[in-house]
Amino acid sequence: MHRSGKALTPSGWRKIGQSLFLLLFLVLFVNTDYAGVDELNWAVNLLFRIDPFLALAAMLAAKTVIALMLPALITLGLTLLFGRFFCGWICPMGTLIDASRRLFARANTLLPEPGQRPWKYALLLFLLTAALFGLPLAGYIDPFSLLVRGLTFAVHPGFDHAITSLFTWTYQEAPAWINSLTEPIYALLKRFVLPFSDKVYTLSVLSFLLLLGVLALNFVESRFFCRKVCPLGALLALTARFSLVRLAGGSAECGQCRQCRAVCPMAAIDETRTIAVPECTLCLECMTHCPRSRIHFGFLPIGNGKQGPNLPRRAMLASFAAGALAPLALPTRPHARHAESTLIRPPGALTEQAFLGQCVRCGECMKVCIGNALHATWLEAGLEGIFTPRLIGRIGYCEYNCTLCGQVCPTGAIRPLSKVEKHAVVIGRAHFDKNRCLPYASGTPCIVCEEHCPTPDKAIKFREVEVTNSNGEQVRVRQPYVVDRLCIGCGICEHKCPLEGEAAVLVTSAGQSRHPDQNIRDGY
């Protein structure tokens, strides 16, 4: 800052605010994890619950009021008072975009053109209409969903891997005096920053690239995503038109410097130095840089003609029509009749259509999943199912007594279950591949699946039989089988099966209790 360091500039205050909210977000993010007790009180779902865009999309899809998402009204209420302060001060994606601007800046970065950016409104309208008519896509582009997915699937585990590799190397190769320095650092990182255990995620690279892409749009123009794409920003901009407190002060006659225009990252200030309220994020750069200190907060009359979303009527109709008509194509796909049998949803998930509608693709259930069992779906649930959670038994299993995914789901797409309720929820069912299962295939004793089966009356039981084993000897072995009425589909048998490659006991969504008829829709 060119002013001496005595007093903080207004934009300096904003940066402190942004940093604090980013820190709060990161603390919540890291703590979205098992903490030694069954109930989790604080999680990063707070952030999603104050997101009015996701709230609206989820409620339109569910066609009901979702109580969990009502805190989003607070954001809207504050926006009616202060405009788009949320984008400038609170949104962690906005903060990261600001912080990374220098990384992507180039000498000839285009000075953003002031004026309204109608296309984000078109996107907003399309997404909300589509949500209402049964094509839920809001979570793909919501800034928090993009951010938390990127962090959960790629950044956090990647960081963990790098740090752990470093400290494994020092632990195994370095002399003791080095370890006396490095081990306490590692212990601290393990305790406060890194995930408890190493995790893997499907679609991690894609999620990372999407996050990187949002930040890299700075390369085109500053805050490109916020100004031209973000549907949450669009919703807040629509609300901000009516805000009470707003920045103003410049005028066509105020001077020739145009400093305010040059520093405004949102390009919200036009040639006459009028600040467009829907675009202003209250970052206070103009206030800081105005040589005459003309810019100030004030209560100002609502809107002049220029403040509307300015979306051409034709574009508005097109967005609406696209949102309303696109869902018509969905029932033409085979999985409208036959659900993909490997698509095992978390316990407490609503029936598939309601689940897809309410899931905002935030990735929190996958972050908190203690067994690293939940993974991002690719196309198994259709184009609209990408990034929704599914259990992949070979990678991880659903821990019998754990109920965390339902606790962190911000929209109730996964219902919170008590431990007793969860024990009764069937998410799928195991079956044996007798061609590979050792006691069947080679007469070799093995009971690892039965040993780990968590139901008090085990869902895997044995028949003791006499067989000729691979060595031609007559032996008695115990051959496992699944008792369907006891199996809940947790996947621990598939996860622990000691065979290389694919397990000999496999879980599919057959028998899932959320809609018992789904798997036999086309049956006899």
Minimum CB–partner distance for residue 26 and other proteins (Å): 21
> Is 320 or 462 the residue whose CB approaches other proteins more closely?
462
> Is 188 or 262 the residue whose CB approaches other proteins more closely?
188
Pairs from 194-200 (Cβ < 8 Å, separation ≥ 24): 194/156, 194/159, 194/160, 194/163, 194/164, 195/33, 195/156, 195/157, 195/160, 196/33, 196/34, 197/372, 198/157, 198/160, 198/161, 198/164, 199/156, 199/157, 199/160, 199/372, 200/157, 200/372, 200/395
Minimum CB–partner distance for residue 20 and other proteins (Å): 30
> Is 180 or 332 the residue whose CB approaches other proteins more closely?
180
Output DSSP code: residue 363: -
DSSP-based three-state secondary structure for 103: helix
Pairs from 515-518 (Cβ < 8 Å, separation ≥ 24): 515/351, 515/352, 518/339, 518/352
> Is 382 or 406 the residue whose CB approaches other proteins more closely?
406
> Is 101 or 423 the residue whose CB approaches other proteins more closely?
423
Output DSSP code: residue 38: S
C-alpha to C-alpha distance for 430 and 270, rounded to whole angstroms: 64
> Is 501 or 523 the residue whose CB approaches other proteins more closely?
501
Name the helix (H) or strand (E) containing 85. Answer: helix 85-85
> Is 120 or 458 the residue whose CB approaches other proteins more closely?
458
Minimum CB–partner distance for residue 345 and other proteins (Å): 20
Minimum CB–partner distance for residue 429 and other proteins (Å): 19
Minimum CB–partner distance for residue 377 and other proteins (Å): 23
Q: List the structure tokens of 184.
A: 């306490």
Residue keyed to tokens 């295939």:
441
C-alpha to C-alpha distance for 163 and 161, rounded to whole angstroms: 6
C-alpha to C-alpha distance for 179 and 510, rounded to whole angstroms: 51
CA distances from 211 to 127, 164, 477 (A): 20, 24, 53
Minimum CB–partner distance for residue 297 and other proteins (Å): 49
Write out the residues near other proteins by the rule CB under 8 A: 34, 36-37, 167-168, 171-175, 196-197, 370-371, 399-402, 438, 444-448, 450-452, 454-458, 462, 478, 496-498
Minimum CB–partner distance for residue 387 and other proteins (Å): 24
